[in-house]
Chains A and B, each alone.
Chain A
Amino acid sequence: DAKTTQPNSMESNEEEPVHLPCNHSTISGTDYIHWYRQLPSQGPEYVIHGLTSNVNNRMASLAIAEDRKSSTLILHRATLRDAAVYYCILTLIQGAQKLVFGQGTRLTINP
């Protein structure tokens, strides 16, 4: 499985944008970039995924570098409810592929 590297922790203020980076220098051409987040004592929650182009949904935006060796999850206006551990994961999307979780980034939001 291709490896991803994320900072252990980040901190931001409420109502400010947050940029969560992820490095995946060994990504292959068929790997999709997934982001999940886990709130305390809950199962992970899907946030967004993409292949080459930047993606937007109601939760966040995903900016993918042109060489695909890194990506950034963007929370446009953080709230206290966005405090969670964010995981960046690579996987093939054809068929049901197992997700292998790294350590993720623990995001703290200050009021």
Chain B
Amino acid sequence: GAVVSQHPSWVICKSGTSVKIECRSLDFQATTMFWYRQFPKQSLMLMATSNEGSKATYEQGVEKDKFLINHASLTLSTLTVTSAHPEDSSFYICSAQGQSNYGYTFGSGTRLTVV
């Protein structure tokens, strides 16, 4: 089946610094990947749709200058949280669609803590 690898699994950073999260499709090509954010005890909230070779599409209310998305190849999308603040602390998850028979595959998530 399709595998999506997400790194790092957790990261702690100081307020004001930037953090990059990588999402790789290991055994398939993903022209589209999705980025979600999940706060404790809440559901996943879609942040943006990452399109290979073009600009990402952001959901309403998500700051595109703060959450930079790059999808430079068919197997890699990155999310950079710029000038992170404690309120950005959350669980970030990426996903991609592999073979249609298996639906969407999700990464294992990145827990970001900003101190």
**Residues of A with Cβ closer than 8 Å to B?**
34, 36, 38, 41-46, 49, 85, 87, 93, 95-96, 98-104
Contacts and interface: CB of A to CB of B under 8 A. Distances in A.
A6 to B, nearest CB: 11
Interface residues of B, number: 28
B46 interface: yes
Contact of B46 (A93, A99, A103): A99
Interface of B: 4, 6, 30-32, 34, 36, 43-46, 49, 91, 93-97, 100, 102-109, 111
A41 B6 CA distance: 13
Nearest to A32: B103
Contacts of B32: 95-96
Given A43-B6, A93-B100, A102 B43 contact: yes
